[in-house]
Structure formats: structure tokens, C-alpha cells
Structure 1
Amino acid sequence: MSRKRNSGAPMAIPDLLITDIAEEGKGLGRAGELVVFVDKAVPGDVVDAKVVRKKKNFAEAVIEQLTKASDLRTSPFCTHFGTCGGCKWQHMGYDAQLHFKQKSVDAALQRLAKIDTSGMEPILGSAKNTYYRNKLEFTFSNKRWLDKSDIATGEQAGPDPDLQMNALGFHVPLRFDKILDIDHCWLQADPSNAIRNRVRAYALDKGLSFYDLRNHEGNLRNLIIRTSSTGELMVVVVFAYAGQQEIDGVMGDLKAAFPEITSLLYIVNQKKNDTIFDQEVITYAGRDHIFEEMDGLKFKIGPKSFYQTNSEQAFELYKITKEFAGFEGGELVYDLYTGAGTIANFVARSVKQVVGVEYVPSAIEDAKFNSAMNGIGNTVFYAGDMKDILTGAFVTAHGRPDVVITDPPRAGMHPDVVARLLEMEAEKIVYVSCNASTQARDLALLKEKYGVARIRPVDMFPHTQHVENVVLLRLKKQENQ
């Protein structure tokens, strides 16, 4: 028997009061027993909402009319806001953003891990909330996202047949094949916008083809721009099906227009995905890397290196991590998910030894290089899957850690890794997370032997719903001695 289709006009909910923010960053209101998630709504708004998707107990909606604006609402500063998915909270004041980020961490830890959060420390806001990123990746596409101004109505309905369809910018949310052409992005400082706009203008002038994300053809595919606090600059152009003459043309124009580029690189990627970790990187001009600095330490950053994208706030995050650990000088530290060894090298001067483990082999090579470059001799690094590396034999060989620092990806830690932490019984665990929900899931398991001593959220990504959180765990039997 076929399902009955929902016919008629979309459901409308007039005068809906938005009372909170949901986990995914949408406004939350209630219409009777129905929970309604409203895109781009701010707590305190009263809206006429149009439901676009309805389930038994909840609905998703958009604002049809803003009846009353919240005192927390502010005017977005980016012309691309609303279409670009990068800065979804530009319409809400920064103090309010911090409030709701802290509230989301509090809710996740209480609901999922049953943790007492009454002693949670105030969220640390970012000193910069524009131009704070050190890395952006843009996509070329021959299918530009069209807004209302691009679509004619009446007798000439539809897009102008002569409309420029090439774009260089960001993916539109939920549309993998549509790219929003970006004029000015507020996430990365100069000369990021000038470089992107120069590459686009050159490609259009020379008739170079932009990548077709469905048919996998075209000359130009991606553009990666990395900046550093040292003033160095890396530009990586990713080509797909371009000849060497076309490649040299693009790269030569960039070199001439931006002599300040420290590392000018290119990649030819003809795979059906955008990842570059398995691709050869060719140095066109300058070095194959740039340098970042933090607390007197230098870090080598290559095109495939992981480094926190908010450099200044990363320093604050690592200072909190170090403070929570409370090192006295003689500790053996395990740094899990060490990446390029940034935290490991950051704390190495304060402890006896740091053992770092990371899945990506190239990141481990960066970690070793960074230790050697800074004259740090008390770090060792291992590459491999965390659950396979962190075994009983590994702990026997290297010693039981006094402190474990763990900074896993958004998915959190594998259950086998959590089980190993419970077996190791380090006196302290400092858990750094970019996802409070998966962190809470892991903390619920660790509660068997650990108590939560300190909690502090850190905002790394202003104008988004994302938030980092640092938790200090202490072994319960140590607490009772």
C-alpha cells in the first residue's frame, strides 16, 4: 500500500517565539507539543515560520516573516551571509554566541554524561572574530550557485543564457555540485581575497575551464591559501586536466602579482575526490613549506600539515591544556591524536618525556621535524591507528603515563582507546574536544575510574556553532588518598 502524500501548501506557524538554540545552531521554538527548528532564527525572535520538513515530534522551518527581532540579533557584515554555510551565526551578537556555546557544552555534559557542570569555567572568547583563520580552501566550478537576482521572471523567466556560470568559492550547504562565487571572505586576512580574485580573473581572461563536479572534467579544481603569524604565505593551486603550459600560465601570473608568496605550489589531481594527501605536490617557487610560531617555538607547515586554523586562539587553548595538566617537571605524558606534535612540543619543556601517537604518517614526520628544529629531545612519535598502537605491550615498553592528553577528531575516541585509558590509570587525563557530544559519550565511560575536576570551553570559530572544550579528569583512587 502506498503512503499518503502530504498535499497542499506548506504548514505555517504564526508568531512562533524562539526560546533557545539547538545543537546544529538553528533557533528552537515550540508550537504546542511540536518542537520547531528554525534556520537563522535567534532566541527572542518572534517569527512566522514556514515548515519545510515535518516529523512526528519535530519540524524544520524557515523564517517567512520576522515579526519581532530579538535584542540578540545583529546585522550580518558579509554580503554572502545566508547562502554561504561558513558563518551561520553572523546575525547574532558575539556575546550571545559565547553564551549559547557554553550552554551547549553544559547541556551535552549533563545530558549525555550526567556530569555536574556547576563548576564549569567561563568560555574563553576569541580576541579576533573576523580574519581569524590561517587556512581556507576554495573550489572551482562551472556551475555557479544562482541567487534570485540571477533569475529573470515574466516572459524571460529563467537564467540569462549569457550568464557567467564559472565560480571560485565555497560549496553551498547540501549541494555538493553548486559553488557560491565569493567576492570577499571575512575569514582570512589579506592578501587572501586578492589572490583568489586574481586567479579567477586570470582563468576567465584566458578561457581556462573550471571543474565540473559531476562529470569530473576541467582545468582548475581547488585553491588553498595558508597564512602564518610570521607573515609567511602559502598558495596551492590544484589542477585537474590542465596542460603544463596552462599550469605555468596560472602559476607565473601568481608569482608576478604576489611576490610576497613564500611557498607557491601546485598539484594535479584527477581523482574523483578532493583529498590531496595521496597526491604529489610540486614546488613552483619558493619553499615547500612555511613556518608558524607559538610561545617561542617554530612549527613547519606543509600543504598537507594539520595545524589549528585559528593560530592565536590555539595558543590560548594549549595554555589551558597545560594549566589543567598541572605539570611539575617529572611527568611521562602520552599525547594521543598528536597531529603535527603541536601540543606535544608545546608541553615538552615542562615534563620528562612526551610520547605522541597519530594516525597520519606525514603528520608524525612533521612532529619529529618540529621537535628537532626546536632542539626538543624528549619527544617520541608513532604513526598508526590509535586502537592498534595503544596496546598493553606499548604501555609496557614506554611506561605508564602520569598524564594523558587526548585531542581526538569530531567522532571522539574509539571504545578500545577508552578501554585502554581505563586500564592505564594515568593520574590525569586532559581531554580536548571539538565535539561536546562525543566527548560526553567518552566521559560517561571514563567515569568508571575518573572524576571531572575542571571544564572550560574555548571558542575557536566565531560566528559558527562549533566550540572546543577542555576537561580535566583525575583518577578517583588518587582523589581518595
Structure 2
Amino acid sequence: MGKRTAFTKQVIENVTIIDIADEGKGIGKSEELVLFVEKAIPGDIVDVNIYKKKKNFAEGRIEKLITPSEYRTDAFCEHFGVCGGCKWQHMEYDAQLLYKQKSVTDALQRLAKVELHGMIPILPSNQSVYYRNKLEYTFSNKRWLYDGESREDEQLDMNALGFHVPGRFDKILEINHCYLQADPSNQIRNRVGDYARENFLSFYDLRSHEGALRNLIIRTSATTGELMVIVVFAYAAQEEIDGLMAFIDTEFPQITSLLYIINHKLNDTIFDQDVIAYRGPEYIHEEMPSNGKMIRFRIGAKSFYQTNSLQAIRLYEITRDFAGFKGDELVYDLYTGAGTIANFIASQVREVVGVEYVPQAIEDAKINSQINNITNTKFYAGDMKDVLVAGFVAEHGKPDVIITDPPRAGMHADVVNCLMDIEAEKIVYVSCNAATQARDLLVLKEKYEVTKIQPVDMFPHTQHVENVVLLTLRK
């Protein structure tokens, strides 16, 4: 094996940032070299310190900010730049919306070759902070160290309760205050961390898989005020579990669902783990107004629900309005999750048939129909490409409208081909990834016309954007 060549520091001067990439880095050019620059935003003029270089592109950091962009503002969080969240908080919110809409436009024009006559301006979020209803924190005995801190310092507390540092699965950033979830989220996390240290509970070792405390999950309902706290233990004695749970119960009586899980697996997923209720039911509720009544959704420890509760209502209203229901439609709701869209629209159509890969989500969907006395929904679990076939359509009937809300990877090619065969009058395609949505639209547009496009900002201060597209069958 040959010697690794040392990387020579290179600074490229006077780079104008002209765009922003999907991962939140600013984009500039130096002759034919494309530069991706951390924390740079369009309009900045910077000197760039290159730390990775390939043939046609390079990645770097700002060595010197020569002229700040008109869009630049002060980051509001002390953890900005180390924490992987809220990467756009140093850019004015109006500019965030501008570049999110641009990312949707670029994807649909460049990848799907779609005409954008039906493009509606992006819908802002009324809340730009404290908008998330769920956060998951990690306990670790290997804290991320700031400049000036040394592992050789025997007085240094290496335990942390916070978020993973990007690119470092075993390093956790201790969080003082997070602007993503409304209180008492911060108080709960900080007091749990204090208790663990004061009572010498061991924080999890992410490499050796040892330790008592593993994860802390907090779910808050923006619509009902209910509060769920889940503590995930690893190798904890029962008296340690009882002590911490009793402390949380006493310290935060407003918690409506206090749960814990014991997870000995090598990964953090809890979907195959037993949930133990320490106090209260194993669920909380969210509510959405629909067609003159309030729809309640039961949210368990493992349930999927749109992370921005209030903006989800507006997202579903757009989906419903795009579909333009008359009252007699058969609707297929693909990737239905916990049946939120299906139950939201059920009172305005003849019947909704929902399909979802995760069996637990389908059980949630059925429960959500039951607690709202909704009787015109049917839900089926299975891999979409295996469920949505000609026989399924023959059994349940040809849908008038198809609503599809797939994961970031988009729809499987077999699913797209099946939609082409079904030829529903309308397809409403909800996506959290405009690039994979565009890939699917490139096929669908052979039979469908894109008539409306509505981006929706579900996650302020991030590069993520939701997009709703109405496709109408060509006559």
C-alpha cells in the first residue's frame, strides 16, 4: 500500500455564491470548478478554504466573508454549525422560501420537463420555530468536544444527552436549548440529564453497546396539548428504571403518557420493541378540522404523524382542494401511513382505500377511523408494488382519484406503471423530495397533464420542502 498524499491547503478567493444545494451548502464557481461551501448563502462573496477536491467539484468552508449577502442574518441557536439541524437559520426566512420554491421549479423543469403554468407560490409556515411535535435525543458517554476542551481533562464530563453530530454516529452534542419543539421539551430533557448525572446512571456507549440510558423521545400535541415522554433504556437495573420514571412523573405532572422501552438491539429502532406504560395511556391525540367536524388521531409511541402538526392541516387541505371532490368518488390513498389523509377526506367522498407497508401504521389507521365513527375507509398492509396490482383494482374498483404520498425515494417503477394502467381521472401526488417526484412525473406525464403545483414549507430553517402536484388524465 502506497503512502497517502497529504492534502495541501488551498484557498480560492473572491467566490460569489450563486445558489444553494439540497444539503444546504452554498454553490459557487471558480472557472470550471463547482464549489460547495458550508454556511454560505446566495449573494455572499467569500474566500473558500478547500478541504475536499474532485475533478469537477470541491467542498470547502468560508475562510473569509468579504461581502455578506442581503439575505444573511444572525443564527439564533448557539449550536448552529455543529448540530446538523436548522442549517438555513442564518438566511432570512423569505429567502428560504424563495430557494425552496426554486428547488421545486428546477427539479420539475430539469428532470420532468414539466410546464409550470400551474405553479402556486410556496405556502409559508406560520411558525418558524417550535414547530415540531416529536424529537428524539440520544444518551452517550462520548460527548462532542468544543475547541479548547481536552479528553485528558479528568474533570471533563463526557456524558451527553442531545443530537448526533453530522457524520459522527458515536458523537453526541449536548443541547442546552433547542428551538424545534415547544416547552416543556427543553425542561424535560435537561432535568432528565441532570437526574442521570446526579444518580450516576450510565450513558450509553454507542460503540461497545453498554450502558443504562439510551434514548429520550418527546412527543407534544400542538392541537390538544397532550404530552408523551418515552425513555429508552438499554442495560439498566429495574431500580434505576423505577427511580428515573418516578422522578419524571413527579417533576412533570402535565405528561399525559409516560412510557418506557428496554432495547438491547444494536440499533435504535423501537418498532419491534415492547412499550411499557408507566402512567397514562400509550397514546396522545392530534386533531384536524375537516368538513365541519374535528377529526382526532391517536398517536402511539411507534405511530407516524406529520412532524409539523399545524402545517400538516394546511397540507391536507391543499391535497383535498386539488382533488376537488364532489362526494361520490372512490379514492385510493397510497402510502397512507396512519390513515391521516384517508380519514381527513372520508366525509367528502364515497369510499377511501388506503395501502401502507407498515402493519402497525395500518392498525393505527383503522383505530383512527373507529374513534371518529368513520365507516367508509378500508386499509391494507403490504409492499405497495405487490398490493397495487390489477387484481386489487378489480376487487376494489377503479378509483376516481388517487392520492399518493410516498417516502423520499418516491414510488417504485411498478407502482408508477400500475397508475398508468389504472388511468384514474386525477392523481394528487404529495412529495417530500421534488427530485424523485419529478422522476415519477416524467413517466406519468405521458398520460397526465400537470395542472397545479403547490410547494409547502413544513420545515423552516432546513432545505426540505413538501410539494403537491395535481395530475389530470389527458382526454
| Cα drift, residue 160 of structure 1 | 1.8
1:254 maps to 2:253: no
Task: Find 2:228's aligned residue among 218, 229, 234.
Answer: 234
Count of aligned residue pairs for this structure pair? 470
1:291 maps to 2:290: no
Give 1:24's aligned residue.
23
Secondary structure in 1 aligned to 2:40?
coil
Secondary structure in 2 aligned to 1:292?
strand
> Contact (CA 8 Å) 2:288, 2:296: kept in 1 or not?
yes
Secondary structure in 2 aligned to 1:113?
coil
- Cα deviations across residues 29-86 of structure 1 (Å, max 9, x unaligned)? 0101111010110111111101111111111111111111111000011111110001
Question: What is the distance in 1 between the residues matched to 2:438 and 2:7?
Answer: 42
Give 2:460's aligned residue.
462
Question: What is the distance in 2 between the residues matched to 1:277 and 1:394?
Answer: 28
Question: What is the distance in 1 between the residues matched to 2:275 and 2:23?
Answer: 36
Question: What is the distance in 2 between the residues matched to 1:214 and 1:8?
Answer: 29
Task: Find 1:365's aligned residue among 341, 363, 371.
Answer: 363
Give the alignment of 1:91-102 within 5 angstroms: 91-102=90-101
Secondary structure in 2 aligned to 1:442?
helix
Secondary structure in 1 aligned to 2:319?
helix
> Contact (CA 8 Å) 2:117, 2:451: kept in 1 or not?
no
Give the alignment of 1:271-310 within 5 angstroms: 271-295=265-289, 296-310=294-308
> Contact (CA 8 Å) 2:43, 2:68: kept in 1 or not?
yes
Give the alignment of 1:159-238 within 5 angstroms: 159-228=152-221, 229-238=223-232
Give 1:267's aligned residue.
261
- Cα deviations across residues 80-129 of structure 1 (Å, max 9, x unaligned)? 11100011001000000000000000001111111112431100010000
What amino acid sits opposite 1:197 in the alignment?
Answer: N
Give 2:62's aligned residue.
63
What amino acid sits opposite 2:217 in the alignment?
Answer: I
| Cα drift, residue 448 of structure 1 | 1.7
Secondary structure in 2 aligned to 1:320?
helix
| Cα drift, residue 23 of structure 1 | 2.2
What amino acid sits opposite 1:219 in the alignment?
Answer: A
| Cα drift, residue 463 of structure 1 | 0.3
| Cα drift, residue 9 of structure 1 | 2.7
What amino acid sits opposite 1:270 in the alignment?
Answer: H
What amino acid sits opposite 1:95 in the alignment?
Answer: D
Give 1:133's aligned residue.
132
| Cα drift, residue 161 of structure 1 | 2.5
Question: What is the distance in 2 between the residues matched to 1:196 and 1:148?
Answer: 24
Give 1:155's aligned residue.
none
Secondary structure in 2 aligned to 1:72?
coil
Question: What is the distance in 1 between the residues matched to 2:196 and 2:57?
Answer: 47
Task: Find 2:393's aligned residue among 390, 395, 408.
Answer: 395
Secondary structure in 2 aligned to 1:429?
strand
Question: What is the distance in 1 between the residues matched to 2:26 and 2:311?
Answer: 27
Question: What is the distance in 2 between the residues matched to 1:7 and 1:239?
Answer: 43
Question: What is the distance in 1 between the residues matched to 2:158 and 2:37?
Answer: 31
Question: What is the distance in 2 between the residues matched to 1:414 and 1:88?
Answer: 30
Give 1:154's aligned residue.
none
Secondary structure in 2 aligned to 1:270?
coil
Question: What is the distance in 1 between the residues matched to 2:105 and 2:419?
Answer: 24
Give the alignment of 1:33-44 within 5 angstroms: 33-44=32-43
What amino acid sits opposite 1:423 in the alignment?
Answer: D
Q: Which runs of 4+ in 1 moved over 3 A?
A: 4-8
Question: What is the distance in 1 between the residues matched to 2:247 and 2:67?
Answer: 51
Question: What is the distance in 2 between the residues matched to 1:159 and 1:36?
Answer: 37
Give 1:330's aligned residue.
328
What amino acid sits opposite 2:213 in the alignment?
Answer: L
User: Once the two structures are aligned, what percentage of the paired residues are identical?
Assistant: 68
| Cα drift, residue 7 of structure 1 | 4.0
Secondary structure in 2 aligned to 1:271?
coil
Question: What is the distance in 1 between the residues matched to 2:400 and 2:273?
Answer: 39
1:49 maps to 2:39: no
| Cα drift, residue 150 of structure 1 | 2.0
What amino acid sits opposite 2:376 in the alignment?
Answer: N
Change in 2 beyond 3 A, CA 1:8/1:134: closer
Q: Which structure 2 segments of 5+ residues have no match?
A: none
> Contact (CA 8 Å) 2:457, 2:466: kept in 1 or not?
yes
Secondary structure in 2 aligned to 1:355?
strand
1:124 maps to 2:117: no
Secondary structure in 2 aligned to 1:188?
coil
Give the alignment of 1:391-470 within 5 angstroms: 391-470=389-468
What amino acid sits opposite 1:206 in the alignment?
Answer: N
Secondary structure in 2 aligned to 1:256?
helix
Provide the TM-score with structure 2 as the length reference: 0.98
Question: What is the distance in 1 between the residues matched to 2:6 and 2:386?
Answer: 53
Question: What is the distance in 1 between the residues matched to 2:468 and 2:405?
Answer: 9
| Cα drift, residue 6 of structure 1 | 4.7
Question: What is the distance in 2 between the residues matched to 1:417 and 1:159?
Answer: 56
Question: What is the distance in 1 between the residues matched to 2:211 and 2:331?
Answer: 49
Question: What is the distance in 2 between the residues matched to 1:374 and 1:452?
Answer: 34
RMSD between aligned residues: 1.1
Q: Which structure 1 segments of 5+ residues have no match?
A: 152-157
